[in-house]
Every structure is written in C-alpha cells, then in structure tokens.
Amino acid sequence: MTISANHTAQDQDRTAAVEDALTEAVTKFGITAEDYMLPARHQIEMVDPDGRLKSRAEQGAEPGHEYPVPGDDELLAAYEHLVVGRRVNDQNSALVRQGRMAVYPSSHGQEACQVAAALCLSKSDWMFPTYRDAVAVMTRGVDPVQVMTIFRGDWHSGYDPLQHNVGIQCTPLTTQLLHGVGVAHAAKLRGEDTVVLAMCGDGATSEGDFHEALNFAAVFHLPVIFFVQNNKYAISVPLAHQSVAPSLAHKAVGYGMAGERVDGNDVVALLAVLDRAVKLAREGSGPLLVEANTYRMQAHTNADDDTRYRESSEVAEWRAKDPVNRMRAYLTDRGLLDDDGEVRIREHAEAVASQLREGLSEDVPVEPQELFRHVFARQTPQLKEQSALLADELARDAAAQNSADQEAGK
C-alpha cells in the first residue's frame, strides 16, 4: 500500500469514528447534528440575579440543551470556593498596592467561571489556565501562595504542573490552548480517559492559535473543553471591535464541534453545562466550546485605567449580577445555607487571605541567572549571549560596590 493510500484509509477511519460519535451524541438528545452543535437560542441561565431558580420555560430550555440542577454538595462546595475566590482576588489587589506583588489580573466578578472550571474536572484531568485564572488554579487544589508566586515576578511559576495536572498560567494569548490540545492528543493515543479544559478570554478568540487549537481538536476528535470567559473586554478593546459572530459559542460549529453559551455569573448553570461537557468529552463525543457570558469588574491589571474606555454605569449594571451574592441568596432560600454556615465560610476565606499575606511578605532570594535556565531544554545562542552580558554587568556592579565599601572603610 502506498503512503497516500494508507493515509486515505486512515482518513476514512477517522471520519467514520467522528461520525459514529456524533450520531451517538445526537441520538442521546434526539436532535439533529446541527442542533447539537449550535448553541441554544438563549444562554443557559438557571438562577436569576436575585437568586431565584428559573422554571424550565423561563430558562428557555430546548431539546438537547436542558440541564439538571447539580447536587447540593457540589453547590455548597462551589459557594465556599466563590467566597474564598472573591476574598483572594481582593487580598491580591491590596498586596499589589502594598508593593508585595508586581501585578495581578483580578478575576473579581468572574469567580463563578473560575470555580466551575475547577470543580467540573476529575483529579486525572488537566486544566490549562491563563494569567487571569489564579482562582481556578487555587480551586483545583494548588496551594494559594504557590499560585500567586508568579505575580511577584521572581519565578516562572510557583507550582509543579505535573503534580496537579494544571499547566502554567500563560500570558502569551492562547498558547495554553495548543498545550491543552497536545496533552489531549497524547492521552488519546495512550488510551487514557483524560479530559482537558483549556481556558481563554473573548479577545483571545481572535488569535491564530485559537483557530489552530480548535481545528486540530475537532479533526482529531479530542476530549477538550474550550472554556471562553467572555468578560467583554480585551484590555481596552470591547467585544464589538473583536467579533461580530452571533456569539463566541457559535464559532464552534464552524470547526464541527458543539458550542454552548451560559450565564457566566450563575455558578449553578456553569456547573450544569461544564459537568455535562466533561462527561460527553470523556465518553468520546469530541471537543466542545463553552462560552461564559461574564464581566471584568476591575481594571485589566493594576497597570490599566479602565475609566478611560468604559462607563461606570456599565460596571454598576454588572455589579447587580454579582455571582457570589446570587449564589448566597439561592442557597439561603433553599435552606442549604444559614448564618453559622456563612460565618464558617468567611472564617475560612480570612484564613486563606492571611496565609497569602504571610507567604507573600517573605523576601525570596533570587538568582538572576535562573532567568535563562529552563526556557529551552538546550540554551539558544541568544540566551547564552544575554546570560553572559548579565553576568558581566553583575560582576561590574559587585566590583564597584566592593571598592565603594573599601573607600568608606567598611
């Protein structure tokens, strides 16, 4: 058999496998392939901003896009993580103002997305986060001080990705999607049932790497959830200048994968949609794109002045949809949360905040040459040259300091 004939046979096998899996997914929900892939007409929202569970009719549920309310234990755990996440976001912003952290891209307002992204995964699954997803990484179980080390700016990352199945928080937009797709491909070749959740923002969906990651995942039928947090801005660029697609979830169908959009401030809906997405991906239904409709309540980072590109009335509108208050109202109304429970959760959040204050107050000795190690397995000539330049500069600094000390008679 020639190479090309061999390829053709493999291509046919692959197409047949994809079609089988799609048919199975479609049979499960009793809808057409197009209706399976297209997001529901309305975003999935289960609990309204006042904390009231919406009826099925109010949810706008459609065949194939109906979701059960997650179990009480999962909801209570989610609320605790929401409260801790909010406290951590605000603590970190304070640490930046005190000069204890160099930068912090806060997810204040996006905590429901952060928490659901972590809770929907099993231990052996993988998460690939961005710079804004520190709360998701922490919710996955990584030590908070280790997570925040990267924002102090003295090391590439504070945790071991292999220990927690969490990639390093990436700043170059959408590189993490490709890392995630690669891990999912490897897991599939090894016959493991690992699911990968790869995260990005609304602005990042305009990147070339976004296209490559989604297309590869769809063609190779990989178990990846692309979780897009649409917080309406890419620094100062509003969504309308970024995309005119009906929604970011609609981008999925162009690749041949299913897309869903969900209220990103409703942790109940997020858990319901992501739990099912993970289950489907694990069963072999291929990749999915979930768009969470949320809002970045604070500036992009401390280096940004958001009053220059958005109205305070817009921010106030979203404050009324706060994910933490919404969940508290819902759980209290259902009798799952009382004052004692709330106090215990608040105390836990305070303990985490104080752990961060202590952990990030330590001055860590840094070795400047470490900047050049671990970037590539084999150092490039450019890095070698830069490393030598730095060594020379440091040696001259030390010599100058020495002679100054001698002159001062130290």
Ligand X SMILES: Cc1ncc(C[n+]2csc(CCOP(=O)(O)OP(=O)(O)O)c2C)c(N)n1
Report in angstroms how near the CB of residue 59 gets to ligand X at its nearest: 27
223 binds Mg ion (CB under 5 A): no
- Is there a contact between 123 and 164 (Cβ–Cβ < 8 Å)? no
Report in angstroms how near the CB of residue 296 gets to ligand X at its nearest: 6
Among 133, 202, 263, 275, binds Mg ion (CB under 5 A): 202
Q: Which residues bind ligand X (CB under 6 A)?
A: 132, 171-173, 200-204, 231, 233-235, 296, 300
264 binds Mg ion (CB under 5 A): no
Nearest CB to Mg ion, comparing residues 59 and 107: 107
- Residue nearest ligand X, Cβ-based: 201
DSSP letters for 198-228: EEEETGGGGSHHHHHHHHHHHHTT--EEEEE
Report in angstroms how near the CB of residue 333 gets to Mg ion at its nearest: 32
Q: Comparing C-alpha atoms, which of 222, 135, 209 is closest to residue 177?
A: 209
Q: CA–CA separation, 270 vs 112, rounded Å?
A: 8
Partner interacting with residue 172 (select from ligand X, Mg ion, none; CB below 5-8 Å by kind): ligand X
Report in angstroms how near the CB of residue 177 gets to ligand X at its nearest: 11
322 binds Mg ion (CB under 5 A): no
Report in angstroms how near the CB of residue 292 gets to Mg ion at its nearest: 11
Nearest CB to Mg ion, comparing residues 210 and 372: 210
Neighbours of 2 (CB within 10 A): 7
Helix ranges (H only) for 45-174 are 56-59, 72-97, 111-119, 134-139, 144-152, 161-164
H or E element in which residue 367 lies: none
Judged by CB under 5 A, the stretch of 159-167, 178-186, 231-239, 351-359 that binds Mg ion is 231-239
Q: How far apart are the first and last CA of the chain?
A: 82
Among 64, 201, 264, 286, binds Mg ion (CB under 5 A): 201
**Beta strand pairing call for 258-263 and 288-293:** parallel
- Is there a contact between 137 and 129 (Cβ–Cβ < 8 Å)? yes
The number of residues that bind Mg ion (CB under 5 A) is 5
Report in angstroms how near the CB of residue 179 gets to ligand X at its nearest: 14
Partner interacting with residue 115 (select from Mg ion, ligand X, none; CB below 5-8 Å by kind): none
291 binds Mg ion (CB under 5 A): no
Report in angstroms how near the CB of residue 134 gets to Mg ion at its nearest: 16
CA distances to 97, 143, 317, 330 from 49, in Å: 31, 31, 11, 9
- By the criterion CB under 5 A, which residues form the site for Mg ion? 201-203, 231, 234
